[in-house]
Chains A and B, each alone.
Chain A
Amino acid sequence: MNPASLKTGRKVGWWRLPVFLGLFLLYFLYSMFLLLNPTDAKSNSFENGKMVWQKYNCQSCHQIYGLGGYLGPDLTNVYQKGGEAYIRGMVQSGTDVMPAFKMSNSELDALEIYFKNMNQSGVSDPREFVVEYDGFIRLK
């Protein structure tokens, strides 16, 4: 069948456009609200570290809050577990799977501050959560 023959003459129901516009307005307001109301304080040092994280595409193997690649571990709270020396050592020497990255000192500093900030922002370990009666989860 030729798709051109699928034309019909009936008019569009009047309610469809207002429903679309109403939903879009809600979406727009929701988006703007999220954009203008950050939950946490802003930090210049976090920003620099995030750029290093993106520049070396760390997200392809690692996760932050469980989001990212699954080849390596989640690094949300790596600062708490290993500290600065551990982070620096891992990045510079690599592992069996991970290559050694040749980062400058300023990049390494920025990355450390990024992990420090990330660690302060919350916890990603699922064992730290409990399930509530309505299916939601909350931190212990």
Chain B
Amino acid sequence: MKLKPKLDTDKWQLFLALLLLFLGLLFGILASLHYSGNGIEKDKIGFVSLRPLHVSYVILWIILSAQAMVNHVMQMQSGKRIPSWISYGKLLLLSVAILAMTMAYFNSRFGGREYWEFPPWIGVLFFAVWILQLLGMISLIGKLNFQKVYVWMWFTGAFFLMLTFLESYAWLLPGIRKSTIQDITLQWKSSGSMVGAWNQMIYGLAIWLMCALEGNSEMARGKTAFVLYFLGLTNLMFNWGHHIYTLPTQPYVRYISYAVSMSEWILLVRIIQNWKKDKKNIKKFKHNPAYYFILAADFWIVINLFLALCMSIPAINLYTHGTHITVAHSMGTTIGINTMILLSCICWFYFQKFGKSPLTHFHRNWWILQITLVLFWCILIYAGVMRSIWQMQEGHSPLSVLMKNMKPVFLVFSIAGTIFTIQLLRFIYGFLRPGRDWLRESK
């Protein structure tokens, strides 16, 4: 399908997302240095600014790149363009919001909450972007085929991102933030479901990509695909309570979350079963770099799903909650799963357009990336176990003593993070190197 040439706002959004990924990792490294006592002077740009810069940028990388690729694929499939006022309006609002957010963080002007610590008025700009994203997708609806599960997943992701983002600002309503426990419950309800929302968009992209690689969309159409989709949706809606098992909120929040989260064992078994098939596929798709990132994502899904399932059992959660094991889980999902799937999609587009790999020595670089990520993840688990042992000890020493003893561990963590970032930068450079050729009309 030939589309009219025009400024491709989705590609610009993708380039912006790649830049945010790099900056997010850079701020992450700087923030991690504070753990080993080598951070920037605490009265200059301290941890209070670096952490939100790292978290918000990396989350925006995930959301914005997923949206850009979903829009691109949906426009290709429907043969229609998203109206210009939506595309340009979205890009303009995004640029203003990111600039305002960055300035707020650098000037230590906070006021928001976890993930979005900027003053709430900037949240209005982001909310407008999420609405425009959904409107853009709705504008293509007439020509889309709703028989494929990934189209459902993309709409679910865009809709729930908007809804949960709005819910995460429920504290602005008079009355909500006056209640200690309700306030925390609602905060983690919205944050937990928001993660599920962007996961829907990304897993939808992964299924679409597998269909595109195999050249058949059967896996996205069967009953099984939809049953698994509804299982994911149920988890998005009700499996957020594991964040707050120790919080004295209504007991049924814990019961529902525990029961729903255990349904994820089905997903785990299913993925392991599919691995055998994937092994065969590797020979078929050896030439396509996208497949290697999908393979990496598969590995991280199994590891992180197993960890998430363990952490959803309250008896285990008691030991992991409030430790770096939780960080390992969130880093494992955002980098190991989300970023690998997104990189895989970018590789696919690159391969389609230029017919080659974005990097020379692709396999060697891919292996270095994965090994440093495994190292990074293992260090976090180790740090989490140390903290867990400390917090369960009767009459334990102050936290500062533990943190001092763990400085060498955190230094290795920063080094692994730095190697990973440099390696990822090579891929980002590889993707962006063709410059203007990217923006020319797709083949």
| A39 with B51, Cβ < 8 A, contacts A66-B322, A72-B399 known | no
When distances are taken between beta carbons in the complex, the residues of chain A under 8 Å from B391 are: 125-127
Q: Complex formed: what's the CA distance from A64 to B391 in Å?
A: 15
CB distance A71 to B186 under 8 Å?
no
CB distance A121 to B248 under 8 Å?
yes
Q: A34 is contacted by which of B46, B189, B237, B254 (Cβ under 8 Å)? A: B189
When distances are taken between beta carbons in the complex, the residues of chain A under 8 Å from B42 are: 94, 97-99
Contact with B along A14-44 (1 / 0, CB 8 A): 0010011001101100110011011111111
Q: A16 is contacted by which of B112, B152, B244 (Cβ under 8 Å)? A: B152
CB distance B117 to A57 under 8 Å?
yes
CB distance B186 to A34 under 8 Å?
yes
Q: Complex formed: what's the CA distance from A123 to B181 in Å?
A: 12
When distances are taken between beta carbons in the complex, the residues of chain B under 8 Å from A47 are: 177-178
| A23 with B180, Cβ < 8 A, contacts A10-B221, A57-B52 known | no
CB distance A13 to B212 under 8 Å?
no
Q: Is A3 engaged at the interface, CB distance under 8 Å to the other chain?
A: yes
Contact with B along A47-72 (1 / 0, CB 8 A): 10011001111011101111111111
The count of chain B contact residues (Cβ–Cβ below 8 Å) is 88
CB distance A39 to B181 under 8 Å?
yes
| A61 with B230, Cβ < 8 A, contacts A34-B189, A54-B113 known | no
When distances are taken between beta carbons in the complex, the residues of chain B under 8 Å from A4 are: 1, 76-77, 79
Shortest Cβ distance from A27 into B: residue = B237
CB distance A46 to B180 under 8 Å?
yes
Q: A60 is contacted by which of B48, B147, B184 (Cβ under 8 Å)? A: B48
Q: Is B264 engaged at the interface, CB distance under 8 Å to the other chain?
A: no
Q: Is B138 engaged at the interface, CB distance under 8 Å to the other chain?
A: no
| A40 with B319, Cβ < 8 A, contacts A1-B212, A7-B145, A56-B48 known | no
When distances are taken between beta carbons in the complex, the residues of chain B under 8 Å from A136 are: 254, 258, 314-315
Residues of B within 8 A of A (CB): 1, 34-35, 42-43, 46-49, 51-52, 73, 76-77, 79, 108, 110-114, 117, 145-148, 152, 167, 170, 175-186, 188-189, 208, 211-213, 215, 217, 221, 223, 226, 230, 233-234, 237-238, 243-250, 253-254, 256, 258, 313-315, 317-319, 321-324, 327, 387, 391-392, 394, 398-400, 403
24 contacts between A and B (CB under 8 A): A3-B77, A6-B148, A8-B148, A34-B182, A34-B250, A42-B175, A47-B177, A51-B177, A54-B110, A54-B111, A54-B112, A57-B48, A57-B49, A57-B117, A66-B322, A67-B184, A71-B403, A74-B322, A121-B181, A122-B248, A126-B391, A126-B392, A129-B318, A136-B254
